[in-house]
Structure 1
Amino acid sequence: MKSAPSLHSIILVFRGSAPENQVKQELHYTIHHQAKKYSLGGHVNGYFYHGFQALWKAGLQQNFLKLQSRYPNFDVLITGHSLGGAMSALAGPKIAKIIAPKKNNRRISIYTFGEPRVGDHQFNSVLEALVPEIYRIIHKHDIVAQIPPPGMTPFTKSQYFHHQTEIWYNNDMTENAPFMICSKKNECDETFLKTHANINDHLTYFNIKIQLNNLQQCVPSSKSTIIRRN
C-alpha cells in the first residue's frame, strides 16, 4: 500500500496467484468448500475470504487507517491482477466504509485485471453500492475470468457471479486498441466459445507478460510506503 502525494491518492495493490500451484489450490478449495459470509452482506469464495482476512488482520487495516489519517483528502485506488483482483473486490467495501464519514469529494475506485468470480448477487450489490466506480478489465479469452463457473458449484451449492462493469478487450490490448463496455447482465467475455479459453491471455495484459514465478520474489509486508514529491 502506498500514498502518492503527486497524484493525491492512496494506492492499494494486490498481487496475483503465485506460483502456479496456488491456482490449483484455489480451484480445489472452491469445489469442495462452501462460500463464506461476507461481513457487509452476501457470500464470497472461501479461499479468497480467508486470504483477505489474513491480510486485513495482519496490518492492512491498520496501515490504511494510518494513511487515511495522514492524507484525509486523498482519493483511494484499489487494483490487482487475478487473485489480486479478487482481493481488491473484497477490500473495496471495507475501505469505502472507513472513508465514508469523511468522504467529502474523494473518489474510491477499483480496477481489476483477469479477476475470477468472487461472490453471489448480494455481495455484488453491496460492492457496487459502496464502490460504484469499479471496472473488471478482461483480456480476450482469459480463462481465470471464467472461474468459478457462473451459478452454483455442483458440490457446495455456492453461487458465483461477476460484478459490474466489464471492460473487454477482444484483441492484443496494444496502445489505442478498441474495447467494449458491458453490464453485468451482458458479460462480453462470455460470448466466446469456452473451448477458446486459455491461460496465455490471462498472463498478458496491455502487452505486458506476467510471470508467475517472478511473483515469488514479492515478500508480504505489513508496512506502508510513502511516495514523496521530488
Structure 2
Amino acid sequence: MLRDLLAEHPKAMFVVTGHGVGGALAALFPALLLFNEEEDLIKWWSAVYTFGQPRIGDEQLRMFMQPHAEKYFRVVYRNDIMPLLPYDDGVFLYKHIGVCLHYNSFFIEKVHVGFFIV
C-alpha cells in the first residue's frame, strides 16, 4: 500500500510514528525495510517520531541502525516507565536508537543525542 501511494505521489515523503508499543513497532519498521533492502521505499523515509516507546533491540540492532539514528526522535516523559522497559541490565541488554527529547516533571525539555539510556 505504501509503495502504491508513493508511486502516485513521487514528491511525497513518509514519517513513521507511534505511542507505547506502537512506537516500538514504528521504530522497527525502517529497520525491517533496511534489513530487507527495500531501497525503493527507504529513499522516501523522512523520520520516526515515537512517544513513550520501549526499548526495541540489542546492541547489534543499534549498530545496524546507527547510520540512520539522526532520523529517530523519541519523546519521553520523566515519570513514564514504558521507555525503561525492557531493562538494559546485565541480563536483557535492550537499547534505544536516536535522539531523546526528554521532559522532566515540569515539562522542561532536554535533548539527548546519541545513546542516551532513558
Work out whether the TM-score is over 0.5: yes
Residue 181 of structure 1 aligns with an amino acid whose one-letter code is: V
> 1:185 Cα shift?
3.7
Alignment map for 1:82-161 (pairs within 5 Å): 82-95=20-33, 97-99=37-39, 103=43, 108-130=46-68, 132-153=70-91, 158-161=92-95
1:66 paired with 2:4, answer yes
Is the 1:119–1:162 contact (alpha carbons within 8 Å) kept by the matching residues of 2? yes
Q: 1:81 aligns with which of 19, 27, 46?
A: 19
Is the 2:69–2:98 contact (alpha carbons within 8 Å) kept by the matching residues of 1? no
Which structure 1 residue ranges, 5 or more long, are not aligned?
1-62, 190-230
C-alpha offsets along residues 47-73 of structure 1, whole Å, 9 cap, x if unaligned?
xxxxxxxxxxxxxxxx12211222232
Q: How many residues align?
A: 116
> 1:95 Cα shift?
4.1
> 1:100 Cα shift?
5.2
Which structure 2 residue ranges, 5 or more long, are not aligned?
none
TM-score scaled by length of structure 1: 0.44
Q: 1:151 to 1:67 in 2, by over 3 A?
A: farther
Structure whose CA Rg is larger: 1
Q: 1:137 to 1:102 in 2, by over 3 A?
A: closer
Alignment map for 1:160-179 (pairs within 5 Å): 160-171=94-105, 173=107, 178-179=108-109
Q: 1: distance between equivalents of 2:26 and 2:114?
A: 18
> 1:79 Cα shift?
0.3
Q: Percent identity, aligned pairs only?
A: 24
Q: 2: distance between equivalents of 1:67 and 1:185?
A: 34
Q: Determine the structure 1 residue equivalent to 2:113.
A: 183
> 1:184 Cα shift?
3.9
Q: 1: distance between equivalents of 2:14 and 2:41?
A: 15
Q: 2: distance between equivalents of 1:76 and 1:139?
A: 25
> 1:89 Cα shift?
1.1
What's the RMSD between the two structures over aligned residues?
2.4
C-alpha offsets along residues 116-171 of structure 1, whole Å, 9 cap, x if unaligned?
01101121122232453111110112101111111343xxxx43112221110103
Q: 2: distance between equivalents of 1:142 and 1:152?
A: 22
Q: 1:119 to 1:139 in 2, by over 3 A?
A: same
